Amino acid sequence: MAMRLLVITPHFEPDTAPTGIIVTSLVEQWAKQGHQIEVITSLPWYEKHEIENHWKGKIFRREEKESVTITRLHPFPQDKNKLLRRLISFLAFSFLAAIASLFKRGPFDTVIALSPPLTLGNVGKVAASRHRCKLILNLQDIFPDVAVTLGKIKSRSSIRILKKYEKFTYSGCDAITVLSKDLEENVNNKIDTIKSRPQIQVIPNFLISSSIKPQGRFTNYREEHHLGEKLVVMYAGNLGNSQSFELITNAARKHNEKDDIVYVINGSGAMSDQLKQQANQLKNLLVVDYQPIERLSEVLATADIHLVPLRVGLGDMSVPSKIYSVFASGRPVIASIDPGTEIDRIVTESKGGIAVPPDDFDSFILALENLIENSELREEMGKKARVWLENCYSSETIADSYLDLIDRLNR
């Protein structure tokens, strides 16, 4: 039976944010199965933290694509390093999203809201109340835990208020989906005292296997950036404070005299300017802005080794979805990650790379040089990564997991 779903998300294609790619894939799968979806999202802004030129001029836009209707709202983008300004922009966007949800024509079977920002969880409450339907909150990261661990929020009173707000947000949901068992345990510990506990279900992130395929390393991207036949070590993704970029820049310094190795950081974010300054001082470090989404497969194929460096303490609060796209490309990964957390388990189980402790340069460089010197091992790990992904996850299985959850909630 066809469903009508209302999805409230901070990003949606053509925005290049990982969340946008994932949500777009989900919506496309639901549409293929005959479901009708209304999406409330932002105007594209993620790549340069400003609204893209051809989207400027209006506070909202509406478009229809077969059974999908998209309402795009002004996101009021701000510098990621200015926490107060970001909070105000989240509140402003969330206010517009709440207003937009009130004017959507129901009925809907379920509202699905994505966080961060956590404020969208309460927008979801407004929408679910207005349309008298169930609410599923999808948590991509745990806020405020990540910000507190990174030292971005230090005031005890602010932390106390934000944790109460987090618990308040969870209390109004019918179900919460998280990306890993670690995140599930984190959320469960916070909702113990909630009278009407939401269901918690682990549904991992994914990327459509058919959109990213293993291909040769000699790509147009490699040619454009004059990489030649050099061995490419790449980080591709958000250049934020959660990543240990010192591991990459220190490795580049260690190998700066080697003419056959180059480090490529592809993405945008709060650390962009700082990383570009360091790249100006290192001949083997290249920082490239985000590429259009249609080039993702090509960008990933350019690398011989991919990196996932997450700071210590974040492994049970955040699951970098880039691991799935790297695996889809058939390339090995070195993950600097908290032991025993989801990414560590994925890398170990798949044998698609090497997991090392976070922020540990000695372990990181040892694993990296092991792969640099062993092309056969790189190829073997890349193949195992792709096989593991194909056997475990697909856009169809993840989309069906949500539909099964919706069906259970409504029964």
pLDDT for 372-402, tens place per residue? 999 999 999 999 999 998 887 777 788 899 9
d(CA 370, CA 377): 9
pLDDT of residue 364: 97
Residue 207 confidence (pLDDT) above 60: no
Split at pLDDT 50, 70, 90, the class of 208 is low
Confidence of residue 269 (pLDDT cuts 50, 70, 90): confident
Give the pLDDT band (50/70/90) at residue 148: confident
E runs forming strands in 55-205 = 60-65, 68-73, 110-115, 134-139, 175-178, 199-202
- In this predicted model, what pLDDT tens digit does every residue of 7-37 receive, in sequence order? 999 998 877 677 888 888 889 899 999 999 9
> What confidence score (pLDDT) does residue 210 get?
57
The residue ranges of DSSP E strands in 193-251, in sequence order, are 199-202, 231-236
Residue 276 has pLDDT above 90, yes or no: yes
Asked if residues 177 and 139 have their Cβ atoms less than 8 Å apart, the reply is yes
Instruction: Report the C-alpha gap between 93 and 25 in whole angstroms.
Output: 23
Q: Which of 336, 340, 300 is nearest to 316 (CA)?
A: 340
88: how many CB neighbours lie within 10 A of its CB?
13
User: Whose CA is closest to 304, among 270, 353, 340, 267?
Assistant: 353
The closest alpha carbon to 15, from 238, 287, 300, 306, belongs to: 238
pLDDT, average across residues 48-66:
84
Residue 95 confidence (pLDDT): 96
